[in-house]
Amino acid sequence: MARCLVIGANGFLGSRLTDALVAADHEVTAFDRFSRGTRAFSSTDLTVVPGDFLSVADLAAAVSGQDYVFHFLSTTTPATVDADPTIDLRTNVQQSVELLALCARAGIHRLFYASSGGAIYGPQPGATFVEDAPAAPVSPYGIGKLAVERYIDYYAATAGLAAVSLRISNPYGANANPSKRQGVIPITLNRILRAEPIVQLGDGSMIRDYIHVDDLIRRILRMVDSEPRHRVYNLGSGQGTSVAEVLATVRDVVGRDFPVRTDPKPATFVDHVVLDVSRFVDEFGADDDLSLTEGIARTWMEMTTA
């Protein structure tokens, strides 16, 4: 049993991680503002700490005495940060650096940082991207994620901080917050439920690497139970699917057709991002993941029977 702090425990990924850590018999502290007034996780055998990520005092109190810290909180998304890139600097980047310093001083065993496999590599040739590929983000969101990764390297070199950056592809599943405008699968399913127009950015040819949240969390738990050999891991399916193919799969799963409105693709959205996951597989083994159809079907079932 390890003492685990999940920062962003009420978010989409953080809540799933919180439940999984509790189920694995870890001593879990859930840190979040809980601004929605409800808890996204179902576990009760844990410590709930309402706190503000922008408060160094709140972070320091939460980090104290922990073995593992999971930094899964973000104040921006790829869709929202373009409107004001300085928000990402003043909130995500600045406070993440404060958190790294606190973790280094507290002597935690390891920090896991939810970085971005979808935004950090940028537009470059290649069918898939390995962790050692050049990081060339073009969006403020990806630039911010890379900046935090570089500060992790700094604190590792100067303060001995043990940390792992998780370059997560495009996770999806039920309970994703549609108001954050992140994730074509949950956004589309939510719009179908609400009988709202389905929106496609660009001509549908954008290719992404999709992974169901349950498969993602299972990977992360395996890393907690071992000593990772690297500081950066791609976490995804390793398979590319176009937006048009995603929408076709959604049609098959929900059993109905729907019109699609095409909006311009934002300038910071790259055409092709698929992760090479061989580093993780070589070290931790392969997973029997849900297919995209199975994952969308599970998501739809959970959304319609909740």
Per-residue pLDDT of the chain (306 residues; tens, 9 = 90+): 899 999 999 999 999 999 999 999 999 999 999 988 889 999 999 999 999 999 999 999 999 999 999 999 998 888 788 888 999 999 999 999 999 999 999 999 999 999 999 999 999 888 899 999 999 999 999 999 999 999 999 999 999 999 999 999 999 999 877 666 678 999 999 999 999 999 999 999 999 999 999 999 999 999 998 999 999 999 999 999 999 999 999 999 999 999 999 999 988 889 999 999 999 999 999 989 999 999 999 999 999 996
Total-model pTM: 0.96
Tokens of 23: 């189920």
CA dihedral 69, 34, 174, 44 (to 10 degrees): 70
Distance CA 218, CA 20 (A): 8
For residue 88, give the nearest of 146, 152, 12, 33 by alpha carbon.
Answer: 146
Classify residue 157 as exposed, middle or buried by CB count within 10 Å of its CB (0-12, 13-18, 19+): exposed
Distance CA 2, CA 34 (A): 24
SS3 217: helix
| Cα–Cα distance, 227 to 297 (Å, whole number) | 34
Q: Give the helix ranges, DSSP H, for the chain.
A: 12-23, 56-63, 78-81, 85-88, 94-106, 140-159, 184-193, 213-224, 243-254, 278-284, 292-305
CA 304 to chain centre: 23
Per-residue pLDDT, 35: 84
| Domains defined for the chain, CATH in brackets | 3-170+211-235 (3.40.50.720), 173-209+239-305 (3.90.25.10)
- For position 306, what pLDDT does the model report? 62
Handedness of CA 61, 63, 65, 66 (dihedral sign): positive
Residues 182 and 79 sit within 8 Å (Cβ to Cβ): yes
167: phi then psi, degrees, rounded to nearest 5: -85, 90
Q: How many CA atoms lie within 13 A of 117 on its CB side?
A: 30
Position 77 scores a pLDDT of 82
Strand partners, 272: 207
3-state secondary structure of 242: strand
